[in-house]
């Protein structure tokens, strides 16, 4: 569905499972950042109330996920740690086209969001298929579906806001770029690490 060029090695789930507290804290902050990103997109599109309404729903859902992860952390007696730097996301930010037309920037930010949702969904699938923790298997399966829907929404917005053929070409560039950077990830107990 996502056409990711380089799948996550299933052994990443073993790294994550060896430090569930860390992966949960990182995951909670990823959800908070996703909500913030959706809100940032809202500020760029006041003339599109249809898109703003859907972005608002995504922001609210991401905050709900943040709360769900936080609740799991508390229920397990873990400590909720400080926000983490997400090197993967920071590398993706560098690929956003800057300095051009406003519409091009907005489309690229939609593709940026779609890429993060696609990789997160893929990582949740790896967790669902490879960890022993039944509660988290179920939880990540539900989130995997949600992330897939968000991916579809962001790609759809990009195609609405830009020329679909141009957007599809740019998405292929995003896929190639993401494949070039994801090679150095998959060895830390973080969602994108």
Mean pLDDT of each 10-residue bin along the chain, 193 residues long: 86 91 95 97 97 98 98 97 91 92 95 97 95 95 94 97 97 96 83 82
Residue 100's pLDDT is 83
pTM: 0.95
Residue 1's pLDDT is 57
Residue 141's pLDDT is 95
Measured distance CA(46)–CA(157) in Å, rounded: 14
Alpha-carbon distances of 109 from 62, 65, 124, 135, 154, rounded to whole Å: 17, 22, 22, 34, 9
Q: Map tokens 């991401």 to a residue.
A: 62
């Amino acid at each position: 569905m996502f056409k990711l060029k380089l799948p996550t090695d299933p052994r990443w789930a073993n790294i994550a499972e060896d430090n569930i507290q860390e992966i949960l804290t990182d995951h909670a902050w990823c959800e908070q950042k996703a909500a913030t990103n959706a809100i940032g997109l809202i500020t760029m599109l006041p003339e599109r109330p249809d898109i703003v309404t859907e972005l608002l729903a995504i922001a609210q859902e991401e905050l709900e996920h943040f709360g769900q992860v936080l609740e799991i952390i508390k229920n397990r007696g873990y400590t909720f740690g400080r926000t983490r730097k997400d090197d993967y996301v920071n590398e993706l930010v560098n690929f956003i086209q800057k300095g051009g037309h406003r519409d091009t920037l907005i489309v690229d930010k939609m593709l940026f969001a779609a890429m993060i949702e696609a990789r997160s969904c893929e990582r949740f699938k790896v967790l669902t298929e490879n960890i022993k923790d039944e509660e988290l298997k179920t939880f990540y399966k539900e989130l995997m579906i949600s992330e897939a829907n968000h991916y579809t929404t962001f790609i759809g917005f990009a195609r609405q806001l830009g020329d679909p053929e141009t957007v599809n070409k740019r998405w292929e560039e995003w896929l190639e770029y993401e494949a070039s950077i994801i090679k150095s990830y998959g060895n830390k107990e973080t969602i994108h690490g």
